[in-house]
Amino acid sequence: MTWWRRLLQRGRVEQQLDAELRDHLERLAADYRRAGLSDAEARRRARLEFGGIEQVKEDCRDVRGTRWIEDIAQDLRYGLRLLRQSPAFTLVAVASLALGIGANSAIFALVDGVLLKSLPVRDPQRLVLLDDGSWTNPIWEQLRDRQRDWSDGAMAWSDGRFDLSRGGTTEFVEGLWASGGFFDVLGVPAVLGRTFSAADDRRDGGPDGPIAVISYAFWQRRFGGEAGVIGRTISLDRVPFTIVGVTPPSFLGPTPGRSFDVAVPIGTQAIVRGQGSWLDARSTWVLEVMARLKPGQSIDQATAALRAIQPQVRAATMPERWPPPMLEQYLRDGLTLASAAAGPAGFRIRYERPLWIIMAVVVLVLLIACANIANLMLARASGRRHELTMRLALGASRFRLARQLLVESLLLAVLGAALGLVFAQWGSRLIVAQLSTPRSTVALDLALDWRVVGFTALVAVATALLFGIAPALRVRRVAPIEALKEQSRAFAGERRRVFGAPLLVVQVALTLVLVVAAGLFMRTFGKLATLDIGLDRDSVLVVDADVTRSPTGEDGRLALHERMRAAVAAVPGVSNAALSLITPVSGSGWNGPVELPDRPDVPTRERMSFYNSATPGWFATMGTKLRAGRDFNERDVIGAPAVAIPNETFVKKYVKGNPIGQTIRFERGPEGITQVEIVGVVQDAAYRAVRDPIPPVLHLPVAQAHGGTAPARLSLSVRAASGSPALLTRSVAEAISHVDRDVSLTFRPLASYIDGALVRERLLAMLSGFFGALALLLAAIGLYGMTSYAVSRRRTEIGIRMALGARSSRVVTMVMRKIAVPVALGLAAGAALSYWAARYVTTLVYGVDARDPLTFAGAAVFLVAVSALAAWLPARRAARIDPARVLRDA
């Protein structure tokens, strides 16, 4: 019989074993009977001679070779039976493990997706990125034409947004301007149709005209995965493109955290953007450049090859009208390559530290959960001492008993991990959804891969060991005789420590760390959310108006924008409407150096300022206060004196004395030096970011800033007279369409731009708050359970004390004092740990010191209050023990 058949037919094997041994005994007894013994005596002699029949059976089972499996199966059966017997324990343990393990898997899935996963492309280790920022298209064209000199193929791309609508309200999709070699260099094939070739990347469109490759997700979402999509036409910014291919589902795009819907060749920008295209702009830095190394080529070798062609590349692409020192710098800056296996790092860098911090937080939460369960298991093991002692006395080995306790732990951990994976899937998606803002959708590949599952399994085993090892170790200390003597009655109180005070210390310390972190991040977010940023976040609707497709020519744009503004201002419910080039906190910006005639030695980068252009009334619309002088007015047009309104920081940094009436000179790309007169000063208001110090900003009138015309895209800020500005969307859209049907519009309340700028802080506050609360809850449950257990163990003792005259307040004190020492030690350790860990969060907190004593003290007080409550409930129960009943029961 093979070993697995012996295992499967265990019942029959056992039956046969029994029959065989019984047969032997019968024959032996029969022989004795024949020798003249009485029946009873014959049987007795037979049994004596044969030895213990159960012992022989055990020996026979041992030689089967399936023993360990049977034992584990038995352990599992015992374990399941025990878990069923105490459903409350099982529920608490499995639930806290599921939360702990689930949180770990969820965050790990994010870490995996953001930090660890390589691009899903062919041989990503061979990909290199042209380092440090973006490049102009002229530079790219130079590099492209010489790509074989320094690499095995190069490509470039730029993120963009395309409007799918054919007029009216916009419908944006995530776009990608990709060079002809984009997909080939990455090694991403088409699952349907074809990708681009160099021939497609022409300014007039390739042989097939303007073509597009769409992503798998977009194909499914928009076309329902229909195979006939190849050859269909799609309108991007009102230009028809022919769809030629679909990319594989694993390929989300070249940038982590960002997915694309539609990719078009870079050259087609000439058709889409016309005059506004950056194809020939020598100082518009928009392209990322990536290349594949030649076989055997190292990054350093490729960089050297690139440096060799650098002089020609730079010389052919000199930006026009840059001041000579900047041009010198431009020629000198060395081109450098860096590994690009995981794609460009923007999103990664932004979220790397927060992710690791949250990862540390969830590991701590899991440790707290483990400490909890270890305590509960210890308590149970003490309660089961009698059972374990009996089994030891009956011949079970200590190893066997310890193993059974470990199997029980493992059972809990596996149940917790299975449930945790479900939590994780749901949780990580929820977090990614939180990361997305209306302007940029965050997409990560969160599919369960072997790494996440492996990580979860590892965590489950590690936790099982963590909380299973303490009870298992204790089994060794049970000396059969002593334990049998001691039995179950404990009059003498706790001669042995029933539960692990050290575990409690660890638990309290870790919880304090998490509560402090939650306090810091929540205060940070609170500070930022209520920060006076010089903008009225709740009453403004921002309308991005793009008149590129309007029949109105460039000369009429200023008037067209003004007509739209006036129409919107007349809409009922609108108190104010004004235009600006840049929407604050939208992420875009315009900067350049200011001339400081009296300080010529100050280097360029120390005299930079940001700029914006605005129409009269824009400051009032945005809620930015005028500190001195006047606002722009209708007379500030081309021909009239050029005027400007700086913010307070600008004045503080670059202007001496009364700013009104002083002139400012600054460098503007194509226009060269511009000279303006200060007519007013406005309050500091957020420009690009909410949490950074507000930079110097100089505002110019729209009518003067763009050479008498206006850019195609302007931002129209609409202030609601009352109520939510989003409610104005429909009437504003109608008012604008009466002026011009061909303007594409995007609506978004200012508040959502500001929320978008605080995503990281909100996420940290939310997650650390959630996990801090979870840790607190777990610690409270653990403390409550331990105290309850201690009280139940000491019931008799407490009863006797009360019979002898102890008052109930004294009993409460006595019980709570037991807890006070480990809690105090834990607080001290936790404070020290938090103080040390503060160094890792200093860059993430705002308006509060990472070692803020108030936050530390608050967290400690909070934790003490929760601990006191958790210990007081069972202590009060102890004080209500009826001495008479206890003594009777004893």
Nearer to other proteins, 58 or 145 (CB): 58
- Segment near other proteins (CB under 8 A); pick from 55-63, 169-177, 523-531, 864-872: 55-63
The owner of tokens 């392209």 is: 287
Dist CA 677 CA 662 (whole Å): 6
Nearer to other proteins, 19 or 304 (CB): 19
**With binding defined as CB under 8 A, does residue 395 bind other proteins?**
no
Distance of closest approach, residue 404 Cβ to other proteins, in angstroms: 25
- Segment near other proteins (CB under 8 A); pick from 17-25, 500-508, 622-630, 783-791: 17-25
Distance of CA 243 to the CA centre of its chain: 34
Distance of closest approach, residue 58 Cβ to other proteins, in angstroms: 9
Dist CA 554 CA 709 (whole Å): 7
Distances 337 to 129, 131, 307, 614 between C-alpha atoms, Å:
5, 5, 10, 40
Please, which of residues 782-841 interact with other proteins by CB under 8 A? none
Distance of closest approach, residue 3 Cβ to other proteins, in angstroms: 8
Q: Taken in order 767, 768, 770, 774, is the CA torsion positive or negative?
A: positive
**With binding defined as CB under 8 A, does residue 9 bind other proteins?**
no
**With binding defined as CB under 8 A, does residue 861 bind other proteins?**
no
**With binding defined as CB under 8 A, does residue 222 bind other proteins?**
no
- Segment near other proteins (CB under 8 A); pick from 27-35, 365-373, 600-608, 827-835: 27-35
**Among 4, 9, 14, 19, interactor with other proteins by CB under 8 A:** 19
Distance of closest approach, residue 293 Cβ to other proteins, in angstroms: 60
Nearer to other proteins, 70 or 544 (CB): 70
Site string for other proteins, 688-707 (x = CB under 8 A): --------------------
- Segment near other proteins (CB under 8 A); pick from 19-27, 205-213, 311-319, 542-550: 19-27
**With binding defined as CB under 8 A, does residue 24 bind other proteins?**
yes
**With binding defined as CB under 8 A, does residue 55 bind other proteins?**
yes
Burial class (CB in 10 A: 0-12, 13-18, 19+), 430: exposed
**With binding defined as CB under 8 A, does residue 27 bind other proteins?**
yes
Residue 195's contacts (CB-CB under 8 Å, 6 or more residues apart) are 182, 183, 184, 188, 189, 213, 244, 245, 247
Q: Using an 8 Å Cβ cutoff, are 198 and 166 in contact?
A: no
Nearest to 498 by CA among 389, 381, 373, 370: 381
Dist CA 685 CA 643 (whole Å): 20
**With binding defined as CB under 8 A, does residue 16 bind other proteins?**
yes
Nearest to 507 by CA among 375, 702, 687, 684: 375
Distance of closest approach, residue 44 Cβ to other proteins, in angstroms: 15
Dist CA 872 CA 868 (whole Å): 6
- Segment near other proteins (CB under 8 A); pick from 14-22, 158-166, 642-650, 714-722: 14-22
Q: Using an 8 Å Cβ cutoff, are 750 and 542 in contact?
A: yes
**With binding defined as CB under 8 A, does residue 145 bind other proteins?**
no
Q: Using an 8 Å Cβ cutoff, are 117 and 276 in contact?
A: no
Nearer to other proteins, 28 or 173 (CB): 28
Dist CA 365 CA 416 (whole Å): 14
Distance of closest approach, residue 38 Cβ to other proteins, in angstroms: 20
698's tokens:
């100089």
Q: Using an 8 Å Cβ cutoff, are 622 and 540 in contact?
A: yes
DSSP β-ladder status, 337-339 and 127-130:
antiparallel
**With binding defined as CB under 8 A, does residue 45 bind other proteins?**
no
Q: How many residues bind other proteins (CB under 8 A)?
A: 25
Dist CA 678 CA 664 (whole Å): 7
Distance of closest approach, residue 13 Cβ to other proteins, in angstroms: 10
SS3 content of the chain, % helix, strand, coil (to 5): 55, 15, 30
Cα angle value 66/67/71 (rounded, 5°): 125
**Among 20, 145, 226, 671, interactor with other proteins by CB under 8 A:** 20
Distance of closest approach, residue 87 Cβ to other proteins, in angstroms: 42
If DSSP states are collapsed to H, E and C, what string results for 329-366?
HHHHCCCCEEECCCCCCHHHHHHHHHHHHHHHHHHHHH
807's tokens:
């008052």
**Among 52, 274, 551, 641, interactor with other proteins by CB under 8 A:** 52
Nearer to other proteins, 64 or 398 (CB): 64
Residue 473's contacts (CB-CB under 8 Å, 6 or more residues apart) are 402
**With binding defined as CB under 8 A, does residue 8 bind other proteins?**
no
Distance of closest approach, residue 76 Cβ to other proteins, in angstroms: 25
The owner of tokens 């806290």 is: 96
Distance of closest approach, residue 56 Cβ to other proteins, in angstroms: 4
- Segment near other proteins (CB under 8 A); pick from 15-23, 167-175, 250-258, 514-522: 15-23
**With binding defined as CB under 8 A, does residue 23 bind other proteins?**
yes
497's tokens:
């420590």
**With binding defined as CB under 8 A, does residue 634 bind other proteins?**
no
**Among 7, 50, 189, 709, interactor with other proteins by CB under 8 A:** 50
Nearer to other proteins, 27 or 885 (CB): 27
Helices (H), 51-192: 53-62, 67-85, 87-111, 137-145, 147-150, 182-186
**With binding defined as CB under 8 A, does residue 59 bind other proteins?**
yes
Secondary structure element (H or E) that encloses residue 822, with its range: helix 808-837
Distance of closest approach, residue 507 Cβ to other proteins, in angstroms: 49
**With binding defined as CB under 8 A, does residue 51 bind other proteins?**
yes
Nearer to other proteins, 28 or 504 (CB): 28
Distance of closest approach, residue 55 Cβ to other proteins, in angstroms: 7
Distance of CA 79 to the CA centre of its chain: 37
Nearer to other proteins, 35 or 481 (CB): 35
Distance of CA 708 to the CA centre of its chain: 46
Nearer to other proteins, 13 or 745 (CB): 13
Q: Using an 8 Å Cβ cutoff, are 613 and 629 in contact?
A: no
- Segment near other proteins (CB under 8 A); pick from 43-51, 290-298, 419-427, 532-540: 43-51
**With binding defined as CB under 8 A, does residue 56 bind other proteins?**
yes
Please, which of residues 60-119 interact with other proteins by CB under 8 A? 60, 62-65
The owner of tokens 């070993």 is: 3
Dist CA 586 CA 582 (whole Å): 8
Distance of closest approach, residue 444 Cβ to other proteins, in angstroms: 55
Distance of closest approach, residue 46 Cβ to other proteins, in angstroms: 9
Query: Three-state SS for 538?
Result: coil
**Among 9, 12, 18, 26, interactor with other proteins by CB under 8 A:** 26
Distance of closest approach, residue 27 Cβ to other proteins, in angstroms: 4
Nearer to other proteins, 29 or 178 (CB): 29
Nearer to other proteins, 49 or 145 (CB): 49
Distance of closest approach, residue 21 Cβ to other proteins, in angstroms: 7
Nearest to 760 by CA among 365, 258, 425, 358: 358
Distance of closest approach, residue 401 Cβ to other proteins, in angstroms: 24
662's tokens:
């002083």
Dist CA 364 CA 244 (whole Å): 50
E-strand spans in 547-607? Answer: 574-580, 591-595
Distance of CA 649 to the CA centre of its chain: 35
Distance of closest approach, residue 14 Cβ to other proteins, in angstroms: 12
Contact residues for other proteins, defined by CB under 8 A: 1, 3, 16, 19-21, 23-24, 26-28, 30, 49-53, 55-56, 59-60, 62-65
